[in-house]
């Protein structure tokens, strides 16, 4: 019986060591994923900052501009302003 117990304990040790290795591998993989995700977020933020000049104006600003254009054509006539 002593030999069976020793075999069982050795098997538990082997399984424990294997689980520890797998756990460390998963932690390393998670760290790599986190680092890549952080880098992608940073690149995305940088890209948004670079593209800001070409972004659409806020809806309120668009609405105001459209309203101003409609006012130009009130009463079926267009008011034309000439610049010199």
Which segments in the chain show pLDDT lower than 70?
A: 75-84
> Long-range contacts: 63-69, Cβ < 8 Å, 24+?
none
Domain regions of the chain by residue span: 2-55
Instruction: Provide the 3-class DSSP secondary structure of residue 74.
Output: helix
Global model pTM greater than 0.75: no
User: Per residue in 25-41, pLDDT tens?
Assistant: 999 999 999 999 999 99
Q: How many CA atoms, within 13 angstroms, populate the side-chain half-sphere of residue 49?
A: 6
């Amino acid at each position: 019986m002593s030999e069976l117990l020793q075999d069982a304990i050795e098997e538990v040790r082997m399984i424990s060591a294997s689980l520890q290795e797998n756990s460390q591998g998963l932690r390393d993989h998670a760290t790599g994923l986190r680092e890549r995700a952080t880098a992608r977020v940073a690149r995305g933020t940088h890209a948004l900052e670079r593209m800001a000049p070409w972004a659409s104006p806020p809806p309120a600003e668009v609405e105001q501009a459209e309203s101003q254009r409609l006012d130009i054509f009130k009463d079926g006539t267009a008011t034309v302003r000439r610049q010199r």
